[in-house]
Structure 1
């Protein structure tokens, strides 16, 4: 059964820098050996996340790239691929979804980052219901 995990931003270090949580989730996914796809909201977010992953941990490099920027064959073998909306990429077992709509493809697990702003959380409740209706096991984690 596929899983949808919702990570609610609560701690100041994530509230002040939400991409830090995305980097943390990407590192955890990479540590499990699961090829990961990060669906960025837009090109600017993809570039900011690319920069954040480079600087995230001096001790542990997370191999990553923005989809379509290198040789397409590189996208297939790179452990973490960041996809802006204009780039179509194959589904992967692990997906970190930063976009406004629920992930509609096939995966083993999708991670949703929930903003600290209570007003921004209402659309995520609908997304929770969508995943449940598709047969996903859903979980909530306070971060």
Structure 2
């Protein structure tokens, strides 16, 4: 069964996402990130400048197939287009289609009213399906 985690109360959603991707890559995991096209475009830019001394390799649906196959992090609207089933990171408002095929789903929830309201809907959906949900309150985190 998919392990589902909610990371909530983040005021810097994309920065937190970059940190999570860095940690997942340190564990040699492959990750798909889904969300609105504008959000993914912002994340793409943030991944290029996230750290001065390293680069988080990633691809988008616009990259050539050989780049997509070689990339450990994929950004796009279709979570199944990449052949990855390890980690799905959701930056969108909706429950990602086919999330249950992934080993792990991470929901990143911003601290604004809209983000919290949409997360509540997803939380209730996962609960209704019988998933045990883990929660991480980022307002209490001290991760650099």
TM-score bracket for this pair, using the shorter chain length: 0.7 to 0.9
Gaps of 5+ in 1: none
CA deviation map 1:95-125 (0-9, x unaligned): 1111111122110111111110245312212
Asked if the contact 1:38–1:81 (Cα under 8 Å) also holds between the matched residues in 2, the reply is yes
| Count of aligned positions | 135
Runs of 5+ consecutive residues of structure 2 not aligned to the other structure: 139-144
Q: Is the 8 A contact 2:91 2:108 kept in 1?
A: yes
Q: TM-score with structure 1 length normalisation?
A: 0.82
* Partners of 1:2 and 1:137 within 8 A in 2: no
Closer/same/farther in 2, CA of residues 119 and 86 from structure 1, 3 Å limit = closer
Question: Residue 68 of structure 2 corresponds to which residue in structure 1?
Answer: 75
Cα displacement (A) at 1:37: 0.3
What's 2:141 paired with?
Answer: none
Over residues 45-81 of structure 1, what are the superposed CA-to-partner deviations in whole Å (9 max), with x where a residue is unaligned? 22211110111112332111212x2222321221001
Counterpart secondary structure, 2:20:
helix
Pair 1:99-2:95 in alignment = no
Q: Distance in 2 between matches of 1:139 and 1:92?
A: 19
Counterpart residue number, 2:50: 56
- Alpha-carbon separation, structure 2, partners of 1:135 and 1:108: 16
RMSD: 2.1
Local SS of the residue matching 2:123: helix
SS in 2 for 1:9: strand
* 1:1-143 pair list within 5 angstroms: 1-10=1-10, 15=11, 17-42=12-37, 44-67=38-61, 69-83=62-76, 85=77, 89-90=81-82, 91-105=84-98, 106-143=101-138
Q: Is the 8 A contact 2:31 2:88 kept in 1?
A: yes
Compute the TM-score of the two structures, normalised by the length of structure 2: 0.81
- Flag the 1:52–1:89 CA change in 2: closer, same or farther, 3 A: same
Shift of 1:34: 1.1
Contact 1:93 1:108 in 2 (8 A): yes
